[in-house]
Amino acid sequence: MAVALNRDRLVDAMETQAAIGGTEDDGLHRLALSDADKAARDWFVEQLRALDLPVRIDEFGNIFARRPGTDPDADPVLIGSHLDSQPNGGIYDGQLGVVAALELLRTLDDEGIETSHPIEIVNWTNEEGSRFQPGLQGSGVWCGEFDLQTEYDRTDRDGVRLGDELERIGYRGDAPAEPTEAYEAYFELHIEQGPYLDESGNDVGVVTGVVGLSWGEVTFTGEANHAGSTPMSMRYDASVPAAELLSYVRRLPGQVGDRTVGTVGSIDVEPDSINIIPESATVTWDIRDPADDVVDHAIDRLSAEAEAAARREGVDCEVEETARTESAKFADRCVETVQRVADEFGYESMRLLSGGNHDASHVNEVCDAAMVFAVSEDGKSHTSEEYTSWEDCYRAANTVANAALATASPTTD
């Protein structure tokens, strides 16, 4: 028994949330726990209260609301995503996932549909990780991957403490930041942030898992010296092996796996002056692959290259992995439910792995989970150029909503 969401109301809710922290170029600047994030949370809570749902805010600011089911023994089905954004990001990202979940609850009320399992909506705190690191923070705390106190103590660039900001915006709640009972399943809608759906002409993506990820940095240390009067043979230029490592990361994926990606997003040299030979240089890495052993292998090769490049220039080198996420495989039954719903709606779909990390990776450790991806034009994301047509938003919202509904009412299926 599938329900069709109200397309106009979905678009209207998307536009309303997009205006909270909206930018002049139609993007969204709604950093976690900022005033704009507070305003978006206030709006979200207001919508939930309008549905007569009790709102539960946990110690880490995650916002939940549960629509009761008819079976007192049935575990709740969780559905949601996040309302925060990157600096000058787009308006779809995870916001669409929260709005789709809200629209599901509204539609069930409209049509007087009861489910055997409760359906619980969630907005996770700080998915983006741009103001406070790490990202996926609310789901990480809730799933027990992160320590509550440690995450409270994170500070932003201005030294502002996360716990204090939660308090300031009024979203440090009383509910425990953990699952206090079993959950039946978790469904999350997010835009793809990659080009595969758009390129292949599909309507929605059935996400089967999330690739493994390694983040790290390599720091080379040589000797600063005058660029004019130091002979080439007497230099220990830290920027040289850094550049060679950066070039290597461009080639590395093609040496280790078909689905591997590798990126150096940041390179910094010191003292950073046109006529001084750099004393130190730091490059970051971001390596991902569906297979964790391929990620391991890539990091081994990257480390070997860093050391070889450092030796060639006669400088020191330190290699440090700063974050590691194992790949996640979503539960077959949840993936199959998403697939079936997409087929029933007649949506062209493809199965794919997520290259980006999502709250579902954490929740997948607590209960069965799956994700739906919406088409992301040209794969652009984290920029105001991010774009998903309203039709694609609607298709993806119908898919995730009905996957949750089908799981919450298995007997009516």
59 near 175, Cβ under 8 Å? yes
Is residue 264 part of the contact set for a second copy (CB under 8 A)?
yes
Query: Cβ closer to a second copy: 113 or 291?
Result: 291
Is residue 255 part of the contact set for a second copy (CB under 8 A)?
no
Query: Cβ closer to a second copy: 164 or 286?
Result: 286
Query: Cβ closer to a second copy: 5 or 299?
Result: 299
Smallest gap, in angstroms, from Cβ of residue 88 to a second copy?
9
Smallest gap, in angstroms, from Cβ of residue 309 to a second copy?
10
Per-residue string for binding with a second copy, 144-183, x by CB under 8 A?
Answer: ----------------------------------------
**CA proximity to 81, closest of 34, 40, 20, 22:** 40
Q: Which 313-372 residues touch a second copy, going by CB under 8 A?
A: 354-357
Query: Cβ closer to a second copy: 167 or 292?
Result: 292
Is residue 282 part of the contact set for a second copy (CB under 8 A)?
no
Residue 309's SS3 state is helix
Residue 275, both tokens: 């006529």
The Cα 270–Cα 66 span in angstroms is 53
Query: Would you say the C-alpha torsion 42, 64, 85, 102 has a positive or negative sign?
Result: negative
Lookup result for tokens 């139609």:
26
The Cα 141–Cα 240 span in angstroms is 40
Is residue 263 part of the contact set for a second copy (CB under 8 A)?
yes
Is residue 227 part of the contact set for a second copy (CB under 8 A)?
yes
Smallest gap, in angstroms, from Cβ of residue 170 to a second copy?
29
**Span of 140-148, 283-291, 340-348, 397-405 interacting with a second copy by CB under 8 A:** 283-291
Buried b (16+ CB within 10 A) or exposed e, 70-89: eeeebbbbbbbbbbbbbeeb
Strand partners, 373: 190, 205
- For residue 3, CA distances in Å to 200, 202, 401 come to 27, 21, 8
Is residue 272 part of the contact set for a second copy (CB under 8 A)?
yes
DSSP 254: H
Residue 2's SS3 state is coil
Smallest gap, in angstroms, from Cβ of residue 117 to a second copy?
32
Is residue 305 part of the contact set for a second copy (CB under 8 A)?
no
What residues line the site for a second copy (CB under 8 A)?
Answer: 130, 192-196, 211, 213, 215, 224-232, 234, 237, 239-240, 242-244, 246-247, 250, 253-254, 260-267, 269, 272-278, 284, 286, 288, 354-357, 379-383
